[in-house]
Structure 1
Amino acid sequence: MKTYLRDQVDWKQPFPAEEYAVRRAKVRKALTDSSLDAIFVTTPANITWLTGYDMIWYHLQNLTGVLVRADSDDTVFFDSSAHTTIISTTPEISQVVYVDAAAVSGTVDESISAIVGGIADKGLSGGRIGLELWGYAPHASVMEALAGALRKGGATVEDHWTLVEKQRFVKSDLEVQHVRKAAEIADLAMATARDAIRPGIMETEIEGVLMGTMMKAGGGYPGIRSMIGSGPRSGTHHSSPTRRQIKQGDLVFVDFCGCYDRYHVNVNRTFSVGEPDPRWTNLMTTAAGCIDAIVSELKLGDSLSKVDAVAQRYTDESGIREYVWWVGGYAQEIALPPDWCGNHWLNPRFDIGDPPIQPGMVFNLENQFDVWEDWPGGSGCAYIESLLVTENGLEVLSKLPRTLVTV
């Protein structure tokens, strides 16, 4: 670490040191509750949440990680020396063990050896160590090799890939401020994109408007590329923008996240270039009531899955089930590419549980539709809202109408 660089940090950090200390304490308590001595954190979003470290290249052999111990607030950061400058300008990193990343200068075996040695130096070679075996980086074979090396050294290794994420789900007051800023940026970008939509503009140009607006507002790149589709592509949902030019009469869906210090808020809106077929208007107007039903019915302490149950019941009772591509949602979290979806889904999966909703939780609710009846203008439509749980119940973060908007 180059301490002279740390002395030159002259830009505002995402959070003060006290915030990171609280996060470490939450993880340490979870370790104790799970009878673990430590966890080696490798999930990129978890690393950022614990340290503020924001690095872009989590390749398949990358073993960047943070060792968090149950018995001490003494964390150790492991990374390639190729990232010395990033590490040196991340104030929350205090101890570093440099490993040689395979794609830079060394081998995976060398990285694993350095990590096992660093863990042993903390007296944990025979301890119970948690690993995050389910994640985007590194590759499963690399994690299996690390687990094997730790076991060979005498450690008991267990998969605890959800341990840190469970601590992230309920956000602090400072995190909620970041969420609100991300929502503000998202609305600004969506409104600017809406105003740019016209016949002749390419979908990729709309993406340029989104990204330019967010960056000028102090935002960042979202964890997933923006999804934009027009005309026959308006029902593609998970598609990136193309060079297709917008035409009069098209439906255009725009789906992205506002991002601020890696905190994400998802918003999706559908626009009509000129007056739409009234069936599109009716579908979107009916679907918009799903959010109203959720906000009015959900109360603090209700299970997360009740949000989904209310959404599904509304969809059935309103008579639009036949057009559903997906109605559902998931946690909105701190996130890094290639994803922004938290693992707490409204219809629980991954054995992560079905917690009661409480202030500080953030999740989205999607209403996405395919229409195979050749309605003029497109092949589908959608909206997505993100909701913040407050002391007063659920708050819709976007201020923009979720009905079909004519441009």
Structure 2
Amino acid sequence: MDYRDEVYFNAQPDREVAFSEEEYAQRLTCIRKAMAKAGIDCLFLSSPESMYYVSGYRCMWYHTESPLEWTATNGIAVHIDHDKYIHFETEREAVLTRTFTVDTDTRYFPKSSYRDGIGFVADELSAEGWLKGTVGLEMSAMRPNRAVSDRFQVAFESAGAKVVDGSLILRDVRWVKSPAEMEVLKESARLASVGMKRAMEVLRPGVMELEVQGEITLAIAKEGGEQQAQIMPVLSGKKSLATHGYTTRRKMQAGDIVCIDVCGVHNRYHMNAARTFSLGEPADDVKDVCHRASNVMDIVKDCLRPNLPIREFNEKVKAHYDKEDLWDSRGWIGGYEMGISFPSDWVGNFVYDPLSEKNADCVFEPGTAVNHEIQVFMPRHTGQFFMIESLLFEEDKVSFATPDISYDLIVIE
């Protein structure tokens, strides 16, 4: 054996598995039940979130924008008739499979494949008898890209499978979290609070947006928080009118409105929070708009409960903005699922919005986590009031991620 191979296959790293083997076994059972309901016999998982959910696998490079020869072909296959999964992986990540996963069957691409494992995956699954029925691919995942996904489809169909879109299987299963996941989300919420409090300490005129972003990241890291799936924005001045802007070397000025959006991350589970700051005392009408917008959180607190109908929640929130004559000044009001995320997106699959019927007839059942987002434009294009709070729905209560930080406009003197 070459020394290279000895390292790849024999080195024994310290184990860093996020959850118990029992937790992963329960997840696999839930996935197989969802597959059976959807009429899918074999599901090939390629998104980082899905691979992590099933096995614990995590990596800093997923080949999403790499050279065309270095294709994103690693993944995990699940079959409805088997209580194990098969992890297909490049040998270059063999050490990671022993570090992070609960794999019991890991199959590495041949050296000759040069990271392109499609033929190997198809041959192995065919030999197992896993390509005889309907196979689901995660066609809505960021990886693999269309060219690679099409090649997977051709390879599986050539082996006799019927290929369908299985994107929703894992997305739906992950909506309701286990008690172990909820505990992780609580730690993520704590980390979000740490980051926002550090921002309040360093915000002042003359400081670059990037400096504040760096201080937030460092404060969270010192408490054990991980890298976020998106770059956390620090947006000052009129750039705050676009909440998806990029943090830059811009030095903040007295009188600026500053929007800061953070996530605490523990074991890849994200909890989101955003607040709006004024560097110095704002104009009275600006302060008034922000105060009336933030008062919606009193409505939220009063109506929240496990199994709250989403339609009821949406209607009460919209009624507040109508009453305050702020609805036509909004950016976006609504929310989305919080949970497992990898770069470059922490926005979960489940979304709600007072103007949309999507999910309006669902409920916030125990074991779910969402954020609630408020965007209201201030007078004279001064900036945007941007506030996010994340909510955890448990069996007997609902908790807030960052209740110790004001939801109103925060003035930095």
| TM-score above 0.5 | yes
Q: 1:69 to 1:45 in 2, by over 3 A?
A: same
Match of residue 166, structure 1, among 154, 168, 172: 172
1:106 alignment partner in structure 2:
114
| TM score, norm. by length of structure 2 | 0.90
Structure 1: gaps of 5 or more residues: none
Tell me the residue number matched to 1:23: 27
Alignment match of 1:310 (pick from 316, 319, 322):
316
| CA distances 1:113-140 after superposition (whole Å, capped 9, x unpaired) | 1111121122122121111111111102
1:301 to 307, 310, 318: 307
The partner residue of 1:362 within 354, 362, 369 is 369
1:401 aligned onto 2:411: no
> Is 1:185 paired with 2:191?
yes
1:315 maps to a residue whose letter is: Y
Give the aligned partner of residue 156 of structure 1: 162
**Partner in structure 2 of residue 389 of structure 1:** 393
Q: What's the offset of the Cα at 1:105? A: 6.5
> Which residue identity lines up with residue 410 of structure 2 in the other structure?
V
Q: Are 2:335 and 1:329 aligned? A: yes
Q: Which residue of 2 aligns with 1:41?
A: 45
Of 121-130 and 382-391, the range deviating more from structure 2: 121-130
Q: Residue by residue, what CA displacement relative to the aligned partner does 1:300-322 show, whole Å, maximum 9, x if unpaired? A: 33433443333223222221112
> How many Å apart are 1:287 and its aligned residue?
1.4
Structure-2 residue corresponding to 1:277: 283
**3-state SS in 2 of match to 1:402:** coil
Q: Which residue of 1 aligns with 2:84?
A: 74
Which letter maps to 1:362? A
**2:392 maps to amino acid:** L
1:78-122 Cα deviation digits (max 9, x unpaired): 121221111122241221222379xx96374xx211111121122
Q: 1:317 to 1:131 in 2, by over 3 A?
A: same
Secondary structure class of the residue paired with 1:59: coil
Distance of 1:44 and 1:351 partners within structure 2: 25
Distance 1:14 1:321, change over 3 A: same
Q: Which residue of 2 aligns with 1:229?
A: 235
Label 1:76 to 1:201 Cα distance change in 2 as closer, same or farther (>3 A).
Answer: same
Report the number of matched residues. 398
SS in 1 for 2:82: coil
What does 1:341-356 align with in structure 2 at a 5 Å threshold? 341-347=347-353, 355-356=362-363
Please say which of residues 287-296 and 207-216 is displaced more in the overlay: 287-296
Alpha-carbon distance in 2 for matches of 1:192, 1:20: 35
Q: For residue 55 of structure 1, give the secondary structure of its aligned residue in structure 2.
A: coil
Unaligned 5+ segments in structure 2 are 65-70
How much does 1:44 deviate? 1.0
Q: Which residue of structure 2 aligns with residue 53 of structure 1?
A: 57
Partner of 2:142: 136
C-alpha distance 401-150 of structure 1, shift in aligned 2 (>3 A)? same
Change (3 A) 1:388 1:100: farther
Sequence identity (%): 27
| CA-CA distance at 1:3 after TM superposition | 6.3
Cα pair 2:43 2:137 within 8 Å, conserved: yes
3-state secondary structure, aligned to 1:233: helix
What letter matches 2:14 in structure 1?
V
- Distance in 2 (CA, whole Å) between partners of 1:309 and 1:331 is 19
Q: Which moved more, 1:361-370 or 1:57-66?
A: 57-66
Q: How big is the alpha-carbon RMSD for the aligned residues of Structure 1 and Structure 2?
A: 2.3
Indicate yes or no: 2:273 matched with 1:267: yes
Deviates more, 1:201-210 or 1:276-285: 276-285
Residue 28 of structure 1 and its aligned partner are, at CA, apart by 1.1
In structure 2, C-alpha distance between the alignment counterparts of 1:107 and 1:90, rounded to whole Å: 20
User: Which of 65, 69, 92 matches 2:75?
Assistant: 65
Q: Distance in 2 between matches of 1:306 and 1:178?
A: 29
Give the equivalent residue in structure 1 for 2:68: none
Give, in whole Å, the separation in 1 of the partners of 2:255 and 2:115: 56
- 2:129 is matched with 123
